[in-house]
Every structure is written in C-alpha cells, then in structure tokens.
Structure 1
Amino acid sequence: MKKNKRVLLASLSGSVIEWYDFYLYGTATGLVFTTLFFSNQDPAISVLLAFATFGIGYAARPVGSLIFGHYGDRIGRKAALMLTLIGMGGSSFLIGLLPTYGQIGLLAPILLVFLRLIQGISLGGEWGGAVLLATESAPKGKRGLFGSIPQLGVPLGLVAGSFSLTFIAYLTTDAQFLAWGWRIPFLFSAVLIVLALWIRGGVPETDAFQKQKDSGEIAKVPIAETFRYHRKSLFHVIGLKLGDGFFNVFLMSFVLVYATTYLDYSNEVALTALTIGCATMIITIPAIGYISDFIGRKIIYTTGLVLMFILAVPYFFLIEQSAAWLYYMQAGMLGVIWASIFATQGTLFSELFPAKVRYTGLSFGYQMAAAIVGFGPMLWAVMGDNYGSSPWVFGGFMMAGLAVSLVLSLFVPDTHKVSKYESDGIPASEQAEDSPHYDTEQQKVKKEKPLET
C-alpha cells in the first residue's frame, strides 16, 4: 500500500508541476511578455507575437513524445520522466532569469522562444510517462483509478499557475510586478522540481517495463514498430482525442476570451467560471476513474462524447444568458462531462498498446492531436470576428470534431474485457493488428488467465 501511494504521488506531483509551468507561461504571456519581450509600436502585433510563442509549446509536444517515448520504451519510464521534469523545470527557472527586450534587444524574445520550445518538448514526454507510471504499477482491478490520478495535474496545474501570478500581482504595485514580481513564480519552479525529483527518485521502475527488459524484447526504434504493428491504434488515439480536444481547449482557455470579448462578462466572472469547472474536475476525475474499473473505460468515454455532442449548441446558447448559466455550464461541461472523458483517456489509450511501444504509441498519438487542437483559438478568433458569438457556428464546429471521435469510438475495442496489458510478453509481430496471430493470441489470453479491469 505504501508503494502504491508513493507511485500515485510521484505521477501526480510531476504532472501538476509540468502543467503549472506550462500554464504559468500562458498566463504570463498576456500580462508580461507582450510588454517586456515583444516591444513593438503596434500593441496588436506585440500580442500576436507573444501568443505565437505560446502556440509553439503545443507544436513542440509531438517532438517531445517521440524523444521521450523512444527513451521511455528503451531505457525505462522512470528515467524518461526524470528528464521531462528537469527539462520543464529548468526552462521555467531560466525564463525567470531572462533579461528583457529593453536590456538585450532581439536576443530576449529569441531566448524566450527557445525556452518555450523546451517546455513543449518536455510536456510532450511527461503526460504519457506519468500515465504509465500509474497504470503499469496499478494493483489488479484498479488500473482505471490509478490512471485517473495523473490527469488531476491539468486542473491543479492550471489553477496553481494562474493563481501564483495573480497572487504576486496583488502583493506588488504594477511597476514592481513588471520589474521583478512576475519572475518569482518561474523561479519557484526550481523548488518544486527538486521536490518532485526526490519523490520520483524513490519509485521503482514499472513491472511491465521491467518484464519487457528482462525478456530482451526491447524495441530498437519504437516509433517504427508502432507504425508497423499498431498504426490502427495510433490513429484511433489521434481521432478519439480530436473531438473532445477542441472542446477542452475552449473550455479551459478560450472561454476567457469568448466570455469577455463576445459576451461582455468581466474578467472576474470568466475566471470564476473557469475555476468552478476546474474545482469540479478535482472531485469527478478520481471518482470516474474508480467507476471505470467496474463498468469499463469505453462506455464512459463514449457516453461523454455523446453528451458533449448533444449539448454543444445549447452550451453556447445558455452561457450568453447570464453569469449563473456560465458557472453552471462550466461546472457541467468541463467539470463533469469532459472530466469523465479525461479521467478514462490515459488508461483507455494506454490499453491499446503493448509494453514494448506503449510509451511511444500513447504519447505520440495524444500529442499529435494536442498539436492540431492547439490551432483552435486561432480559428475561433476568426469565427468570432466574422460571426460574433453565434451558438450555431461555435456549437457546429464542436459537433463536427466530436462526430469524428464518435465514429471512431465504434471501432475501438472494449479494453475492459481485453487489453494489451494482458498480452504483455507476446512478441509485437504477433500482436499486430493485421497479424493472423492477433485474434488467436487474444483468445488465448482470455482463456488462460483472468483479466484485470
């Protein structure tokens, strides 16, 4: 039991810190970087340049999934996760030390962009590794619960990253905040990283990887084996993530712009609504993860997609009625419905790949989808300029993405009954989706040993 608690703490702590750093940058972009690092006579250009660097973090995430997925499948989950922490924490700490444009000129934004790239690459390897650290160490019958715990890093990291800058801004004058106050949350990353490294350092390698290593079945080039033997599962992950991914990016970030720019709500109302949604997620994510161990991941995931599809247009109609409706819908759509999808996502996706390529397949599929949905805010800004807050336009866009995921969900196996965790140790060629051995090997597993849930 003590080992299980430390594993969960290790997966959660690193995940929280990674997302804290990632969202801290996003909050600082509008408050600090547009003024101190992208000096331009036209404020609109400064804002555009600053938010372009924010998007670079999303674009870099697939690169990180390939790098750390490769090492995670060849060297070990634990080693890869230690590196992602150092990369994210180190880059955030250095951002806190960067000279501004007024001090070193053009070199300031160049260094900022470079460090943002490191952040994106590190995050691209963190998510999949954190999920595997939990799911591959889970006791029998608790994989869904364990897999949901690192997902808490997203709402906790977002709230912590936004709150830290807001808190410092409250304690300082505007001049003090721009002069040195904004640097404190970035520099504080060093303390958090040391703590997380200590926690993760005491966690052993996962049993699944250790068995793979002991058997000598280590992939030479994991991404090549993933495309060769498990490309169907890879594209399933990308497609399944796209639908909820667009809505997720809206609910957790663009809703602030949408509510204040197009619906004329105050910043306080918009931030409160987002905080309510995140607070609800902290309760629902582990609860849904626990339930998934009894009824399966697929049924919960599909139900969440269906509810999101049905409520896509009503959501946009209702949030423009009053602040109360904005609060209710953020709690329902983000805190309950999307949280149910996200709670099961890491476990479901990981169950589609064998241990040999699990880190790579899980991470690359997820981060490719994340890179695509990262362009959502750019598209919505254009839609808002042309159509205003039209519920039919915004809701229709969400429905189109969700329709893709719903169709693909019909073809995803029910991993509650048979998953690749039960077939660990079987050669990858015999687990390939187009292999004549695939079905027979799965049936052999079902007959010879009881299945975990």
Structure 2
Amino acid sequence: MKKSRILFASLAGSVIEWYDFYLYGTATGLVFSTLYFPTHDPAVSLLLAFVTFGAGYAARPIGSILFGHIGDRLGRKATLIYTLIGMGGSSMLIGLLPTYEQVGLLAPILLVILRLIQGISLGGEWGGAILLATEYAPKGVRGLYGSIPQLGVPLGLVAGTFSFTLISYLTTNDQFMSWGWRIPFLLSAVLIGLAIWVRSGIEETPVFQKQKESGNLARVPIVETLRNDGTNVLRAIGLKIGDGFFNVFTMSYVLAFATVYLGYSRDTALTALTIGCATMLVTIPIVGYLSDFIGRKTIYIGGLTLLFLFAVPYFVLIGKGTGWLYFMQAVMLGIIWAAVFSTQGTLFSELFPTKVRYTGLSVGYQFAAAIVGFGPTIWTSMAKKFGPSPWIFGGFMMAGLALSLVLSVFVPDTTKTVASRYDESVNIVES
C-alpha cells in the first residue's frame, strides 16, 4: 500500500468523526440549550445541555472496550468501518430530530441516545486511526505518522465551526434556530460515504497481519490488557487528564464561556475557535516530526509545563478584548496544546504490545476523556457561583495539569526504549 493512501485513510475518517463529535459540542451552547432543554433560567438550560455533551464522553470507554476487542481480534480495518457508520448515522439523525416544543420530553431523550452512540463510536475510532498510521510507519518517522490522524481534530472542528459560521452569516437568527443549524449535521451522510469508500480500499496493517498469522491473539483483550498492562492504562489516563480538561474548554466550552460570561458575540467566539484550530494544522505535523528526534517525552513535559504556567494568564487575557481572545486561542490551543496532542497518540500506542494495542491505547485515552468530558458541567456551575474568575478557572486547569506533569516525569521515553514493540515489518510500505 502507498504511504499517501494509508495516511489519507487514517486522516479522512478521523476528520469526519471529529467533525460530527465537535459539531455537537458547538451546537450544545448555541442551539440545544434553547431548543431541547428550555427553562426559565438560561444557566440551567446550558447546564442540562452540557450534561448531554458529557454523556458522549462518558460513553467513549464503552466504545474503547467494544471496538478495542474487535480491533485486536479481527483487525484494524473492519473496526474503523463500523465506527464511521455509527458516528455518521447518529449525526445525520440529530439533524432530523424534532425539538422539545414539537414532541416534549421525547426530544431530549432521543438526543441523549444519539449522543451516546456518537460517543461509543468515537471511543473506537481514535485508537484505530492512530494504529492505522503508526503500524504502517517506516522506521524513524512513527511520530510524524502518528501525528497525521491527530490533524483530524482541528480539521473536523474547523469544518464544523465553519459550517455553523457560514450558516449563521447566511441566515437570520430565527432561520438559524429553526432549520439552519440542522444542515451541518445532515452533511455527515455525504462525508461518511466518502470516508468509507477510502477506507474500504486499504489493507490490514502489516503489524496486525503478522500477529494474526502467528495465532497469538488475545482471547479477551480487555482482560489481558488489565492483567499485563494495567499500569500503562492508568498511566495513559493520568497523562491525558491535564491537557484533556484544557482541550475540552478551548475547543468547545469556550463558545459558551465567551458569549454568556464574557459578552462576546457568537461570531467572534466561533472565529477565535477557528483561529486556534487553523494554527494547530501547522503545529501538529511539525512537532510530530520533531518528536522522532527530540523525543516524545521531552515535548510532552514541555507542553504540559507551559500550559500550567499560562493557565491563569489565559483566563485573564481572553476577557480583555477580541484581539486577546484570538491571540490566546492561537497560542494556547494552536501551539502549546497542539504540541502535546501531536505526540499523544504515538506515545500511548508505544506503551502496549501489538496483541492488545488497540484496547490498551483506546481504553486509557477514552477513560480519561470520560472524566474530562464533564468539565463543561462543572464549569457552568463554577461560573454561576464565581463568575468568569481567572483564578478559579485557571486554578482548576492547573490542578489537572499538575497531576499529568508528575506522571509524565516517570513515563519511559518511548521514542527509543520501546520501539521494539513495533514490528519492523512496517518497512514494507512502498514509497
């Protein structure tokens, strides 16, 4: 298989999965709190809406176990087709969902069910996309290859926010709230069909093929993972907690925070988010490439340290004006957090042997995601009680980052020390 096709396949599905997932996050503060959870108190409506947002994160560990099992038993390719179907189908149905005014309580119930399906699907997608890239990577550039699926996060979010921004500009507020917001969700059907076509044309990774031919497959991957690699699962969870909370805030909750508590317009908040994500498109592949030479551990610790030091200044400055909001999103999200994220998939995958790599990688990452996914619920309560206090919000971020920083000191530098866990047969990839 050609390297370009493999990388495109890992990226294409990742883009669409994150497009769908963050599309929901964008709509939560702008649409769902009003149309599906109406109350007399806007803060309560927002809180209820973000509970469903968190439910999607809570469902991701289920997907990591389910699809990790399939991925470690049947293969990476088949699993990635299933996750696309689950994600795309649920997103399309959200675009067709009646509102609370039309069907009452049935509307939020159906919304939560579809959100759970989204979360389960994404719980299996991320790890599979990472392995599709890294298990095909030639020797010496695994960090670069592992960073390519990570581009799906900013690309998917940019696509989602751009679609919302475009519809917002082309419609009145009444039109946007009535039918305009549905269009980006309905577009998922077309995008998913395209991604499935791309992925159906690739072969199984050489690493898994060799593992399967040996007959040495895990009977119950989650059991074997916890028995033999439980420490690395816990390590991955702890390493993700700190930057995970910051990520959820800057890529989702910032829309509600900026509009409801800082007084910015919806368009300004969306533009700031788009700027941060656009910056990530440059940062991620560059840092991914550098991680093969500098070391993933070094970059990871450096990024977490900078996030810790600038946590409070970030919240101070984003309230100072539009220019500062744009600048801080570009620096904190687009450069510093992106540097951490670019190395994360490769670093975590190198902690696990081939026979349970899909499960170990996915479970560690997604259990952390389930925890940080309820950040918006916590932050809404914090803002209601303390307002947009930089010390309260910055202090919250620093607590999570401190945990990850301590753990990162003790993680092995997988760039060199555990490279043998990846079969060298990956070098059969054509140029």
Common fold, TM-score beyond 0.5?
yes
Structure 2 unpaired stretches of 5+: none
Distance 1:396 1:169, change over 3 A: closer
Partner of 2:56: 57
For residues 133-178 of structure 1, the C-alpha deviation after alignment (integer angstroms, 9 at most, x for no partner) is 0100111111101100111111111121122133223333444444
Partner of 1:353: 352
Distance 1:257 1:49, change over 3 A: closer
Task: Compute the displacement of 1:285 (Å).
Answer: 0.3
* CA RMSD across the alignment: 2.1
For residues 396-439 of structure 1, the C-alpha deviation after alignment (integer angstroms, 9 at most, x for no partner) is 222211111111112111111122x51357xxxxxxxxxxxxxx
Mapped contact 2:51–2:374 kept (Cα < 8 A): no
Sequence identity (%): 71
What TM-score comes out, normalization by structure 1 length? 0.88
Mapped contact 2:57–2:369 kept (Cα < 8 A): yes
Partner of 2:127: 128
CA distance in 2, matches of 1:32, 1:189: 18
Matched, 1:232 2:231: yes
Structure with higher Rg: it is 1
Distance 1:100 1:396, change over 3 A: closer
SS of equivalent to 1:279? helix
CA distance in 2, matches of 1:114, 1:71: 23
> Partner amino acid for 1:158?
L
Partner of 1:430: none
Matched, 1:423 2:410: no
Distance 1:169 1:306, change over 3 A: closer
Aligned pairs for 1:67-78 within 5 A: 67-78=66-77
CA distance in 2, matches of 1:259, 1:35: 17
Q: Structure with the greater relative contact order (CA < 8 A, sep ≥ 6): 1 or 2?
A: 2
Moved more, 146-155 or 308-317: 308-317
Distance 1:273 1:102, change over 3 A: closer
> Partner amino acid for 1:221?
V
Distance 1:105 1:134, change over 3 A: same
Aligned pairs for 1:238-277 within 5 A: 238-277=237-276
Moved more, 128-137 or 162-171: 162-171
Matched, 1:162 2:166: no
> Partner amino acid for 1:277?
G
Partner of 1:323: 322
CA distance in 2, matches of 1:241, 1:281: 18
Distance 1:76 1:184, change over 3 A: same
Distance 1:404 1:284, change over 3 A: same
Task: Compute the displacement of 1:97 (Å).
Answer: 2.5
What TM-score comes out, normalization by structure 2 length? 0.93
Matched, 1:341 2:340: yes
Distance 1:103 1:306, change over 3 A: closer
CA distance in 1, matches of 2:226, 2:154: 32
Distance 1:37 1:237, change over 3 A: same
Matched, 1:111 2:105: no
Distance 1:89 1:403, change over 3 A: same
CA distance in 1, matches of 2:158, 2:421: 39
CA distance in 1, matches of 2:250, 2:147: 19
Distance 1:48 1:324, change over 3 A: closer
Partner of 1:362: 361
CA distance in 2, matches of 1:339, 1:384: 26
Moved more, 54-63 or 44-53: 44-53
Task: Compute the displacement of 1:249 (Å).
Answer: 1.5
Distance 1:404 1:278, change over 3 A: same
SS of equivalent to 2:185? helix
> Partner amino acid for 2:355?
K
Task: Compute the displacement of 1:101 (Å).
Answer: 3.6
CA distance in 2, matches of 1:320, 1:171: 28
Aligned pairs for 1:290-439 within 5 A: 290-419=289-418, 421-423=419-421
CA distance in 2, matches of 1:37, 1:327: 30
> Partner amino acid for 1:299?
T
Partner of 2:185: 186
Task: Compute the displacement of 1:320 (Å).
Answer: 3.2
Distance 1:378 1:30, change over 3 A: closer
